[in-house]
Amino acid sequence: VSAKEKKRWTLNDFDIGKPLGRGKFGHVYLAREKRSNHIVALKVLFKSQLQQSQVEHQLRREVEIQSHLRHPNILRLYGYFYDQKRVYLILEYAAKGELYKELQKCKYFSERRAATYVASLARALIYCHGKHVIHRDIKPENLLIGAQGELKIADFGWSVHTFNRRRTMCGTLDYLPPEMVESVEHDANVDIWSLGVLCYEFLYGVPPFEAKEHSDTYRRIVQVDLKFPPKPIVSSAAKDLISQMLVKDSSQRLPLHKLLEHPWIIQNADPSG
């Protein structure tokens, strides 16, 4: 569906198909736009829930930010519409589904698959940061897989245009860098930290600072209590990259363009992404 901003979409423009997934705020369905036969994903959100959680402004910001982003590793948000009780997001359909399910199934990824995903995420984040957009919520649940196996960052519900925005903590702490956990100023380097957490989880199947209690995860993050388990066996190049990203001082984290030149990425990432 071409994003003709003026076009007023309604539910009647779509044939609704199977449910694709269930998010916190609503369900996602496969759908086909009747005139073009274009396949999309339709996320249905209940206005009552959005009002209850006071996130309408975040949703508006997501739609605004996403309308300017065009990148092969960023899931398109073509537009939205609403009726009496619901808001509908018209999204690009990711044919191979949710990455977190794939990670649960495989337990952990090979170094080649992990490096290919990390490189494509780094390219997408370089693009976002170039437009002063920080995602701030990079985690497996927000990653989808396209028809050719390529990774797509989705759900910019937490992204911001400007820097140092406060945010209410919700969902898992695992991916938050120290500066966000300590709610101090933060900048685009927060996404580098989260990408480092993600790289660790791709290779070991669990995030690096996971703990039973919230308070323990909090302490492990702010102390950067980074340990590499003996199993599965992971190359020292991969550990070196992760150690350069999970650095407390955000200005000392490996810049994303340097990440793309790191030996582990050069040796393992599939150039096509």
Ligand X SMILES: Nc1ncnc(NCCc2cnc(NC(=O)Nc3cccc(C(F)(F)F)c3)s2)c1Br
Q: Residue 145 CB, nearest distance to ligand X (Å)?
A: 8
Output 124 or 259, the one with its CB closest to ligand X.
Answer: 124
How far apart (Å, rounded) are the C-alpha atoms in residues 177 and 270?
A: 28
Q: Which residue is nearest to ligand X (CB)?
A: 157
Q: Note the residues at the interface with ligand X (CB under 6 A).
A: 20-21, 23, 25, 28, 41, 43, 45, 50, 55, 58-59, 62, 75, 89, 91, 93-94, 97-98, 144, 154-155, 157
Q: Which of 137, 155, 174, 191 is catalytic?
A: 137
Output 59 or 237, the one with its CB closest to ligand X.
Answer: 59
Output 91 or 176, the one with its CB closest to ligand X.
Answer: 91
Examine the residue annotation and report whether 240 is marked as an active-site residue of this protein: no
Three-state SS annotation for the chain = CCCCCCCCCCHHHEEEEEEEEECCCEEEEEEEECCCCCEEEEEEEEHHHHHHCCCHHHHHHHHHHHCCCCCCCECCEEEEEECCCEEEEEECCCCCCEHHHHHHHHCCCCHHHHHHHHHHHHHHHHHHHHCCCECCCCCHHHEEECCCCCEEECCCCCCECCCCCCCCCCCCCCCCCHHHHCCCCCCCHHHHHHHHHHHHHHHHCCCCCCCCCHHHHHHHHHCCCCCCCCCCCCCHHHHHHHHHHCCCCHHHCCCHHHHCCCHHHHHHCCCCC
Q: Residue 103 CB, nearest distance to ligand X (Å)?
A: 14
Q: Residue 149 CB, nearest distance to ligand X (Å)?
A: 13
Output 11 or 260, the one with its CB closest to ligand X.
Answer: 11
Output 98 or 201, the one with its CB closest to ligand X.
Answer: 98
Q: How many CB atoms lie within 10 A of CB 170?
A: 10
Q: Residue 179 CB, nearest distance to ligand X (Å)?
A: 21
Q: Residue 127 CB, nearest distance to ligand X (Å)?
A: 17
Q: Which residues carry out catalysis?
A: 137
